[in-house]
């Protein structure tokens, strides 16, 4: 019987209310007293935020400030940090679930779609995991490719076991980190009428947190645009020049990459043309906010040196982890400074964010869909696949439908993220549970009895004590909260177990637990 | 049952911990306020690295690239951008929070430390080869300036300026992915530039005021590295046509082929026994608004003083 979703939703929403006002930081005195999340909840939140998974139940037995610090420090060398960073950057880059342009190029194979889309994010993941400065986003002479990407573009494959390995495009394009990747420019298109301006604005929006569309320019006063050639107007009309004096020279860097109007095949879409780069540069001399350059290599150097870049990275990390406003964060300058002084290291930055008052407020926050799916994968003991989730969930996670239903972006049409929980999110939770739980139980049955994660050693047991003990174990594992076998929570869970289909009581109970509101909040 | 289960979901205890107080950043610094502001709103026009139409009418004397320059124009910035009669940027657009931040920063005396913004690693698109911004130190003193030949980013002139400000063209280089792969050295150097004027930023602007020596066919060159005589094979959809043509009155090979997305031609001339690409036609033709012409009909066009003709 399906769960009473409306009731569930009401409870879920109620959890997100009534806590505001507890956390407003004081701005006086040498120290600021901030109501903060307790140590156990901080551990859970930090693990989910930095690594995308829940801490193991045994780690919560000694939850204190020392354990919290140890988790943050340990996260710096955990490969899950890079995957989590990639997903956080996807909130700005919108790569992961993008598919729409690929059908135009007759790319219908899911594996190719997935690899093309993930290419820019794979580099972010590698930069973070290899403790490289984030400026290598724009300066690295190589970028990861998996076997699919390597074969598509004729790149040497250097990875292992089908994973991503550093390599370089060898077609003469300037090498400037993700700025040189086909995956980025196939996702972020231009056409013959915007002359790469859309791409230029993407760069400033994502990496400077400066969107030209946010400029509140007076367009009405004396514009004669109606009677003027548009391309002439952008160089002569003051209303236009306010943006285009900066935007168009950035676009001038990007002419070598193909755009939507022309290529008809995937191979053509992935070719870099120095002649077209030259043509675009002649049309709009490349410059980065008044600093002339020659090609994408110069663009990368300018972006890496721009003082707005570390500020934007700090903003993305802070707002991505807290949901709060960076502009109102009392620690914002300290975060920027810490990031720069660390040598632009992402791990140091997110660790610093987790130590801010804004991060440790007790208000519950919604997990992103990637956090929820990946943490569920880990909690169920399923092996992580390409996306960080179990491979049976890869496709689901990388499809826009589940992500939108769960409150996130589909990377094409819905580009924002819900910051609060909503009833529809439970549908995504139910979807996730029904796909994952049967597989997880099958996997668990293959484990030795004393190594099982989900089922009791004797699955057929009807002994109430054994069942209650296992339910408490499940509660602690899936919800990251210790609970006694004779508690009210387990009373209710045991009642659910008794009412379940006798053929699959554990499956029904675990599915219900995966739809518990705290599975989607932290 | 599930509702009962869910009813326990909202329990979350709180404790109070001491957190570091935020630093007083009411003034801001060049790095946190001043530089981001001028980059976003000013230097796309008010940069000493821009010339001519690329300044969109900004006076040549008003540049805001550096902290010193901004301090020098602080009063004008306040008056033109922050005051009641603000007219910069020309149609506004700056958010209130940005204006408040830069106003506070200027009121504090524009604090901060100078930070140099990088320059292009190699030289820039110089459509008429009259200005440049890139320079490197020459081995024997003086400076070697990098000028692009005819707007081709991968074909670059190396131009040496002596300490008297006189210049000589010492060679061409061809680059791929920022790496020099071919070069031609001129011995003696071609005296084709004769004026180098230092700008406020310290880099010279070279004016091509004397065309003498630009007729390369009259010069004696020493080719120091072999030049690839084949057209660049990248992006060719089909086999190129090879025709004999004239370039500036000298014999040349013209490779004309359909590239992936546009018709491209390369003209190559024999220079002291080796062939080098000296012209790339399609971008220049489009830039000038000059249409190409069918090969079998022949035709000619000129771009920036270089003429190309093809016999039918």
What's the pLDDT tens digit per position in A363-373? 999 999 999 99
Is the predicted pLDDT of residue B59 greater than 70, yes or no? Answer: yes
Q: What is the 3-state secondary structure (H, E, C) of A486-514?
A: CCHHHHHHHHHHHHCCCCCHHHHHHHHHH
Nearest to A29 among B7, B21, B125 (CB): B21
Is the predicted pLDDT of residue A199 greater than 90, yes or no? Answer: yes
Q: pLDDT class for A279, splitting at 50, 70, 90?
A: low
Q: Note the pLDDT of residue B290.
A: 38
* Range from A38-52, A212-226, B62-76, B288-302 carrying the lowest mean pLDDT: B288-302
Q: What is the mean pLDDT of chain B?
A: 56
Higher pLDDT, A321 or B263: A321
Are B88 and B44 contacting, i.e. CB atoms less than 8 angstroms apart? no
What's the pLDDT tens digit per position in A122-145? 999 999 999 999 999 999 999 999
Is the predicted pLDDT of residue A450 greater than 60, yes or no? Answer: yes
Residue with tokens 């790095």: B31
Q: pLDDT class for A34, splitting at 50, 70, 90?
A: low
Looking at the complex, does the CB of residue A434 fall below 8 Å from at least one CB of chain B? Answer: no
Q: Note the pLDDT of residue A225.
A: 56
What's the pLDDT tens digit per position in B100-109? 999 999 999 9
- CA B302-B304-B309 angle, to 5 degrees, is 20
Q: Note the pLDDT of residue B202.
A: 40
Cα–Cα distance list, B43 to A90, A246, B108, B275 (Å) = 30, 8, 22, 43
> For residue A270, what are its two tokens?
């992935």
Is the predicted pLDDT of residue B307 greater than 60, yes or no? Answer: no
Q: pLDDT class for B268, splitting at 50, 70, 90?
A: low
Q: How far apart are CA B96 and CA B30, in angstroms?
A: 19
Is the predicted pLDDT of residue A264 greater than 90, yes or no? Answer: no
Q: pLDDT class for A165, splitting at 50, 70, 90?
A: very high
Higher pLDDT, A274 or A436: A436
Q: Note the pLDDT of residue A386.
A: 66
Q: How far apart are CA A12 and CA A429, in angstroms?
A: 12
Q: How far apart are CA A201 and CA A313, in angstroms?
A: 17
Q: Which of A312, A274, A313 is nearest to A296 (CA)?
A: A274
Burial (CB count within 10 angstroms: exposed 0-12, middle 13-18, buried 19+), residue A29: exposed
Q: Note the pLDDT of residue A227.
A: 52
> For residue B30, what are its two tokens?
């060049």
CB contact residues (below 8 A), chain A span 56-85, against chain B? 65
What's the pLDDT tens digit per position in A477-514? 999 999 999 999 999 999 999 999 999 999 999 999 99
Nearest to A268 among B39, B91, B260 (CB): B260
> For residue A119, what are its two tokens?
């290419």
Is the predicted pLDDT of residue B55 greater than 70, yes or no? Answer: yes
Which chain A residues have a beta carbon less than 8 Å from that of B2?
Answer: 3-4, 7-8, 496, 512, 515
Is the predicted pLDDT of residue B161 greater than 80, yes or no? Answer: no
* Closest residue in chain A to residue B30, using alpha carbons only: A307
CB contact residues (below 8 A), chain A span 205-244, against chain B? 210, 214-219, 221, 235, 238-239, 241-243
What's the pLDDT tens digit per position in B206-262? 333 223 333 322 222 222 222 233 433 333 334 344 444 445 555 554 444 333 333
CB contact under 8 A, B91 and A242: yes
Q: Note the pLDDT of residue A262.
A: 65
> A163 — phi, psi (to 5°)?
-85, -170
Q: Which helix (H) or strand (E) holds A291?
A: strand A291-292
Q: How far apart are CA A380 and CA A372, in angstroms?
A: 12
> For residue A214, what are its two tokens?
């946010």
Is the predicted pLDDT of residue A18 greater than 50, yes or no? Answer: no
CA distance A357 to chain B (A): 7
Q: How far apart are CA A470 and CA A133, in angstroms?
A: 45
> A2 — phi, psi (to 5°)?
-65, 155
Higher pLDDT, A465 or A389: A465
Looking at the complex, does the CB of residue A453 fall below 8 Å from at least one CB of chain B? Answer: no
Cα–Cα distance list, A119 to A143, A157, B188 (Å) = 8, 13, 50
Q: Which residues is B168 bridged to in the sheet?
A: B160
What's the pLDDT tens digit per position in B168-197? 555 555 444 444 555 555 554 544 333 333
Q: How far apart are CA B291 and CA B78, in angstroms?
A: 49
What's the pLDDT tens digit per position in B276-301? 555 444 333 333 333 344 434 445 54
Q: pLDDT class for A102, splitting at 50, 70, 90?
A: confident
Higher pLDDT, A379 or A99: A379
* Range from A255-269, A307-321, B221-235 carrying the lowest mean pLDDT: B221-235
Which chain A residues have a beta carbon less than 8 Å from that of B8?
Answer: 488-489
Are A84 and A58 contacting, i.e. CB atoms less than 8 angstroms apart? no
Q: Note the pLDDT of residue B270.
A: 55
Q: pLDDT class for B138, splitting at 50, 70, 90?
A: very low
What's the pLDDT tens digit per position in A497-506? 999 999 999 9
Q: How far apart are CA A489 and CA A499, in angstroms?
A: 16
CB contact under 8 A, B261 and A14: no
CB contact under 8 A, A31 and B65: no
> For residue A453, what are its two tokens?
């994660």
* Range from A35-44, A478-487, B1-10, B248-257 carrying the lowest mean pLDDT: B1-10
**ipTM given for this complex:** 0.87
Q: Which of A109, A114, A210, A213 is nearest to A162 (CA)?
A: A114
Supply the pTM of this predicted model: 0.75
> For residue B291, what are its two tokens?
């249409």
With a CB cutoff of 8 Å and minimum separation 6, the contacts of B136 are B143, B144, B146
Q: pLDDT class for A224, splitting at 50, 70, 90?
A: low
Is the predicted pLDDT of residue B125 greater than 70, yes or no? Answer: no
Is the predicted pLDDT of residue B123 greater than 90, yes or no? Answer: no
Q: Note the pLDDT of residue B119.
A: 79
Are A56 and A47 contacting, i.e. CB atoms less than 8 angstroms apart? no
Tallying the residues shown for chain A, one arrives at: 522
Side-chain half-sphere CA neighbours of A14 within 13 A: 13
Looking at the complex, does the CB of residue A488 fall below 8 Å from at least one CB of chain B? Answer: yes
Helix axis angle for A346-354 and A110-129, nearest 10°, is: 80
As a whole number, mean pLDDT of residues A398-406 equals 82
| 3-class state of residue A35 by DSSP | strand
| 3-class state of residue A420 by DSSP | coil
Q: What is the mean pLDDT of chain A?
A: 87
Looking at the complex, does the CB of residue A270 fall below 8 Å from at least one CB of chain B? Answer: no
Is the predicted pLDDT of residue A192 greater than 80, yes or no? Answer: no
What is the DSSP secondary-structure string of chain B? -HHHHHTTTT---EEEEEEEPPP--SS--IIIIIHHHHHHHTTTTS-TT--GGGGTT--TT---SSHHHHHHTHHHHIIIIISTT---STT----HHHHHHHHHHHHTT--S---PPP--SS----TTS-----EEE-TTSSEEEEEESTT-TTEEEEEEE-TTS-EEEEEEEEEETTEEEEEEEEEEEEEEE-EEEE-TTS-EEEE----TT--GGGS-EE--S----SPP-TTBSSPPEEEEEEETTEEEEEEEEEBSSSEEEEEEEEETTEEEEEEEHHHHHHHTT-----TTT-EEEEETTEEEEE--
Q: Note the pLDDT of residue A16.
A: 35
Rg (CA), chain A: 25
CB contact under 8 A, A289 and B40: yes
* Range from A280-294, A355-369, A462-476 carrying the lowest mean pLDDT: A280-294
């Amino acid at each position: 019987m399906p769960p009473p979703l409306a009731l569930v939703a009401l409870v879920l929403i109620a959890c997100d209310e009534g806590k505001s006002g507890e956390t407003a930081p004081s701005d006086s005195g040498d120290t600021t007293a901030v109501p903060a999340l307790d140590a156990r909840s901080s551990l859970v939140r930090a693990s989910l935020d930095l690594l995308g998974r829940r801490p193991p139940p045994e780690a919560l037995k000694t939850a204190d400030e020392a354990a919290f610090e140890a988790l943050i420090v340990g996260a710096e060398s955990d490969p899950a940090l890079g995957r989590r960073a990639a997903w956080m950057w996807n909130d700005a880059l919108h790569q992961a679930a993008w598919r729409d342009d690929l059908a135009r190029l007759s790319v219908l194979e899911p594996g190719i779609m997935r690899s093309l889309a993930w290419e820019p994010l794979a580099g972010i993941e590698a930069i973070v995991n290899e403790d490289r400065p984030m400026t290598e986003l724009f300066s690295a002479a190589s970028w990861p490719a998996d076997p699919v990407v390597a074969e598509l573009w004729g790149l040497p494959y250097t990875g292992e076991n089908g994973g991503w390995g550093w390599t370089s495009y060898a077609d003469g394009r300037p090498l400037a980190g993700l700025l040189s990747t086909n995956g980025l420019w196939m996702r972020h298109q231009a056409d013959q009428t915007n002359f790469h301006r859309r791409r230029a604005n993407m760069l400033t929006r994502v990496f400077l947190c400066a969107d030209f569309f946010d400029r509140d320019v007076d367009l009405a006063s004396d514009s004669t645009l109606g009677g003027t050639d548009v391309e002439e107007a952008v160089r002569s009309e003051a209303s236009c020049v306010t943006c285009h004096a900066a935007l168009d020279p950035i676009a001038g860097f990007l002419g070598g990459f193909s755009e939507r109007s022309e290529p008809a095949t995937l191979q053509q879409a992935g070719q870099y043309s120095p002649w077209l780069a030259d043509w675009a540069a002649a049309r709009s001399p490349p410059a980065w906010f008044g600093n002339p350059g020659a090609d994408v290599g110069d663009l990368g150097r300018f972006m890496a040196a721009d003082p707005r870049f570390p500020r934007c990275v700090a903003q993305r990390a802070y707002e991505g982890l807290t949901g709060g406003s960076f502009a109102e964060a009392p620690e914002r300058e300290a975060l920027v400074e810490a990031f720069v002084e660390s040598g632009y290291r992402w791990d140091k930055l997110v660790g610093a964010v987790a130590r801010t008052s804004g991060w440790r407020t007790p208000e519950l926050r919604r997990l992103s869909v990637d956090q929820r799916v990946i943490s569920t994968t880990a909690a169920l003991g399923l092996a992580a696949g390409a996306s960080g989730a179990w491979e049976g969930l890869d496709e689901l996670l990388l499809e826009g439908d589940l992500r939108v239903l769960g409150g996130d972006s589909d990377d094409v049409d819905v580009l924002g993220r819900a910051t609060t929980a909503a009833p529809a999110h439970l549908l995504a939770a139910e979807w996730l549970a029904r796909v994952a739980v049967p597989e997880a139980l099958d996997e668990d049955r293959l484990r030795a009895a004393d190594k099982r994660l989900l089922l009791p050693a004797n699955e057929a047991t009807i002994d109430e004590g054994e069942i209650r003990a296992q339910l408490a174990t499940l509660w602690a594992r899936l919800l990251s909260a210790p609970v006694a076998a004779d508690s009210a929570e387990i009373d209710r869970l045991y009642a659910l177990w008794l009412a379940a289909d006798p053929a699959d009581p554990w499956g029904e109970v675990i599915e219900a637990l995966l739809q518990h509101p705290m599975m989607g909040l932290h | 049952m599930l509702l009962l289960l869910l009813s326990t979901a909202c329990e979350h205890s709180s404790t109070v911990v001491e957190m570091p107080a935020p630093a007083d950043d009411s003034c801001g610094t060049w790095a946190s306020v001043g530089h981001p502001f001028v980059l976003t709103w000013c230097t796309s026009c008010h940069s000493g690295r821009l010339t001519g139409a690329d300044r969109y009418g900004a006076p040549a004397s008003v540049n805001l690239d550096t902290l010193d320059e901004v301090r020098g124009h602080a009063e004008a910035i306040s008056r033109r951008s922050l005051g009641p009669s603000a007219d910069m940027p020309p149609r506004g657009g700056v958010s209130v929070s940005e204006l408040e931040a830069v106003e506070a920063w200027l009121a504090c005396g524009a604090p901060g430390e100078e930070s140099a913004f990088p320059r292009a690693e190699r030289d820039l698109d110089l459509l008429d080869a009259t200005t440049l911004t890139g320079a490197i130190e020459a081995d024997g003193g003086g400076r070697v300036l990098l000028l692009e030949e005819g707007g081709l980013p991968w074909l670059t002139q190396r131009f040496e300026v002596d300490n008297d400000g006189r210049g000589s063209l010492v060679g061409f280089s061809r680059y791929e992915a920022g790496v020099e792969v071919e070069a031609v050295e001129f011995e003696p150097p071609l005296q084709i530039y004769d004026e180098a004027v230092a700008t406020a930023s310290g880099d010279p602007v070279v004016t091509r005021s004397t065309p003498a020596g630009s007729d390369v066919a009259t010069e004696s060159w020493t080719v120091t590295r072999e030049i690839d005589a084949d057209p660049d094979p990248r992006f060719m959809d089909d086999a190129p046509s090879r025709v004999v043509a004239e370039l500036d009155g000298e014999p040349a090979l013209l490779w004309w082929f359909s590239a992936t997305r546009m018709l491209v031609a390369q003209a190559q001339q024999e220079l002291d026994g080796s062939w080098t690409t000296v012209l790339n036609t399609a971008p220049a033709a489009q830039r000038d608004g000059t249409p190409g012409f069918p090969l079998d009909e022949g035709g000619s066009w000129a771009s920036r003083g270089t003429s190309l003709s093809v016999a039918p």
